[in-house]
Amino acid sequence: MSPIRVCLVTDELFPYTAGGIGRVTHNLIQDSLSRGADVELHVLLPDIVKAQPSQVELFFGGRVKAHVCAFREPQQGTADEHGTYPHRAAFRDSRWHGESLDLMRYLKAREAEGLHFDVIEFADFRGWAYCTLQEKHLGLAFAGTTISVRLHSSYGTLTHHEPNTLEVENLGRFELERKALLDADVVVAHLPCIADFNRRLYAFDDAWMRKVTVEFPPVVIDAPPRQPAPAIPPTQRNLVFVTKIQPFKQPDVFIRGAVLLMRDWPEYQGKAVLACHSFDPDYLAEVKSLIPADLASRFLFVKPGPDRDVLMRSGVVVITSNYESLNLTAYEASMAGSTLVLNAACLAFGDDSPFVDGANCYKYDGSLDGLAVAMRRGLESPELDAVKWTVSRPYWETRRARPTAPSTSRTPPLVSVVITNRDKGRHLPETLHGLAASTYPEMEVIIVDDASTSAFDLHVLERLERVAAEAGQDLRLIRSPVRRGLAGARNLGLRAARGEYVLSLDAEDCLAPAFIERAVAALEAHAEFSGVVPTAGCFQSEEELAARQFSDFITFLGDCPTYALVANRVSCPSVLLRRSALEKHSYNEALQGYEDWDLFLRLVHSGCRFLVTNQVHVFTRRRQDVSLSEGDRRRHFQWLARMYESVPVPLSPAVRLFGMLAHSREAMVDPHGAVHPVASVSAPAQAEPPPQPVERPLRYDVVDFMNSAIKRLPLVHPLLKHAASAMSGGGEEAGAKEQNLPSPLRYAVVDQVNGLLKRAPFLHGALRRTAGKVI
């Protein structure tokens, strides 16, 4: 049997970087190597880590394979045989989302080359597992791989315990990490209380705990023999702080406790030594300002050096953190012979940890007075025992991933596609052609016209109505005699839908051929998800669409309850949903804007979960950006207030206030109805292909491309061809005469659209110039 192949994805690795995650990763590797476990270990580092793969492999004696993933430049696009991916600047929720995509693509490329991993483990910090998990659950890669996330300290736990700022990106970071933990196959916790804290912080249900495995990692590797503490009088021993000078570690509490001890115990003449790194000069100055002038000489700030162990043994090491998942310093200090003073309110030092008050440490209750008392106990008391622990065998040595079981074969469920239209009939052929190219066989199309008034639309609808009458249930047209608005039109179509799955589509948007098939397969395999969200690519011309060249992208997180209050990062309208998800929720017809966002917000706060495609699977026509008037902003906040009132779980006043403040501070409404931070709207990507000679109208190349896709479904192709013929008025001659070419029906349709564009010469000329650079 081949060895278990494990890949640890991390941007921290001792001795090349600082940080506890890197030390734990190093210790896990060394522990497996020392026991001769039947494991083939790999490490995947981003290129921001300044370590050469050969260096890492040499350090571990050639028994670890190192990989480096290069992150793309912000505007650098990419595509492969699986599709087109957004550039990193498109991920406006958090740059970590784009980094997660690059790591997924690296791992997927290695799998395609034959390097299959049984386990891929990520840290919780940064949520880098997100895209890899989406790809696996969508059935596109990693079928036999366990994707795990280890609980160190996520950004969400850090901000929960230290000052947080009103930044929308903080919500993106929080939600990215939350989704990674929620969707992971396995979550690794060092202590049971740490798993339970994360469950409560991220509002996971009790079922989440079933995927948690509790394993105590190796915390000290090759520790030197414990040395006795130097014989120093209690009143001369030092108080030592050796973690980090950052709010999360609470050095201010250490200083206040030391000052209180010095005031209450005049005989004490020792010093308070802060031997650790500082990363924020302003915070360092703030901490130093807490020291009274008359005690300034007794507080020393030094950088950690080779005398760290001696410094710890000769004094009392104080750790004041309110939260730690696993504090390596405490174990190292105890093994070095130091006396420990620990915050009992910190979970890493709680009752289910190896630390026992009075046996191997002194604990205090989290209060300042309690800290001063514990410091004196540590200074005056005799030497304590060293902390003892038992290292768990890692989960990857005891289990192999089970291949994903094939779903029970059954008749493919019907998917209802509801297309809403109001005076956009010129785009309907393009949308229908995109559906005809779908690889999914069981589909009905319902076109809902919301009282269109343009002469062209009325002409198209009359002909389409006759075609629909002949086509039966697979193609239906519903014409509303009164304008209902987008919400009302969609509800009208959804009430008529017969499918087990439903998908709403605007008349000017198109779907990638494989989206419905992949989305249905994923939902059939994973009952816990309610829908699949396609990443969107924005185009401005049919030529751009045909070439899959997108001027921008719209990305989503899926179920993100907090971020969804500030911006629609849940989904685009073209999400494929289980019909059951809409049994209790429908579009709010009282809203004249944000209808989709409002629905998704209610679904997410009702517990619905979504998968998100990493590739672009919906193509949306990008409209010209317009500046917001004062009336627009007023309506924006009116709609927000109405949305918040409709959320099924009552929101606290603090949450409502945060959402409104975040909107007023950094948000804008884009033409797609989403809200984006103003500062993070990306510039359009540069066109890459060189100009090509044009020997016939470019529009014919576009429709030829689409026609070839339509013919993949021979049963659907005639139906939609009939519909397109009715919409075009039956003419087949005009456009072909320009080049003396045969006259397929598709040319007649596109010629009719082209004729409409020529009524706006400036627009027509601009589109031709753009197309000339693309095709």
pLDDT in tens, 213-224: 999 999 988 766
Judge whether residue 27 has pLDDT over 90: yes
The per-residue pLDDT for 770 is 42
**Least confident among 178-187, 628-637, 712-721:** 712-721
Distance CA 27, CA 214 (A): 17
Map out the domains of the chain with their CATH numbers: 4-214 (3.40.50.2000), 234-380 (3.40.50.2000), 415-676 (3.90.550.10), 698-716+726-774 (no CATH)
Strands 501-506 and 415-421 turn out to be parallel
**Alpha helices per DSSP H over 529-588:** 542-547
How big, in percent rounded to 5, are the helix, strand and coil portions of the chain? 45, 20, 40
pLDDT digits (tens, 9 = 90+) for 460-512: 888 888 888 887 778 999 999 999 999 999 999 999 999 999 999 999 899 99
How would you class 686 by CB atoms within 10 Å of its CB: exposed for 0-12, middle for 13-18, buried for 19 or more?
exposed
The per-residue pLDDT for 694 is 35
CA-nearest of 40, 37, 54, 35 to 7 is 40
- Contacts of residue 336, defined as CB under 8 A and 6 or more positions apart, other chains included, come to 224, 226, 227, 309, 312, 313
Give me the residue label for tokens 């949308």: 431
The per-residue pLDDT for 537 is 94
Q: Which residue has the higher pLDDT, 673 or 91?
A: 91
Distance CA 179, CA 134 (A): 10
Mean pLDDT of the chain: 84
What are the C-alpha distances in Å from 9 to residues 166, 418, 675?
30, 42, 32
Question: Which amino acid, residue 744?
Answer: P
Strand runs labelled E in 291-333: 299-302, 315-319
The per-residue pLDDT for 404 is 57
Distance CA 698, CA 706 (A): 13
Backbone angles phi, psi at 5, to 5 degrees: -100, 120
The backbone region for 370, taken as left when phi is positive above 0, alpha when psi lies in -120 to 50, beta otherwise, is alpha
Distance CA 316, CA 234 (A): 10
Confidence bin at 671 (pLDDT 50/70/90): very low
* Tally of CB atoms within 10 A around 101: 29
The per-residue pLDDT for 518 is 96
Q: Which residue has the higher pLDDT, 655 or 674?
A: 655
Distance CA 484, CA 479 (A): 11
pLDDT digits (tens, 9 = 90+) for 681-736: 233 333 333 333 334 455 555 555 455 445 444 444 555 555 555 554 544 333 33
The per-residue pLDDT for 657 is 60
pLDDT digits (tens, 9 = 90+) for 371-428: 999 999 999 988 899 999 999 999 998 865 555 555 556 899 999 999 999 999 888 9
Give me the residue label for tokens 């009132």: 645
The per-residue pLDDT for 153 is 93
Whether 276 contacts 243, CB under 8 Å: yes
Helix (H, G, I), strand (E, B) or coil at 732: coil
CA-nearest of 773, 542, 570, 522 to 674 is 570
Tokens of 135: 């790809």
Average pLDDT over residues 550-570: 91
Longest dimension (CA), the chain: 106
Distance CA 295, CA 271 (A): 9
Whether 101 contacts 131, CB under 8 Å: yes
Give me the residue label for tokens 């040499």: 58
Confidence bin at 664 (pLDDT 50/70/90): low
Confidence bin at 651 (pLDDT 50/70/90): low
What CA dihedral angle connects 569, 570, 572 and 577, to 10 degrees?
170
Distance CA 465, CA 471 (A): 10
- Contacts of residue 499, defined as CB under 8 A and 6 or more positions apart, other chains included, come to 413, 414, 415, 416, 443, 444, 579
Question: Which amino acid, residue 119?
Answer: V
- Contacts of residue 28, defined as CB under 8 A and 6 or more positions apart, other chains included, come to 8, 217, 218, 394
How would you class 760 by CB atoms within 10 Å of its CB: exposed for 0-12, middle for 13-18, buried for 19 or more?
exposed
Whether 305 contacts 357, CB under 8 Å: no
Tokens of 464: 């389409």
* Tally of CB atoms within 10 A around 11: 19
Measured on CA atoms in the order 360, 365, 366, 368, is the torsion positive or negative?
negative
CA-nearest of 133, 115, 111, 149 to 9 is 149
Average pLDDT over residues 511-524: 96
Whether 386 contacts 334, CB under 8 Å: yes
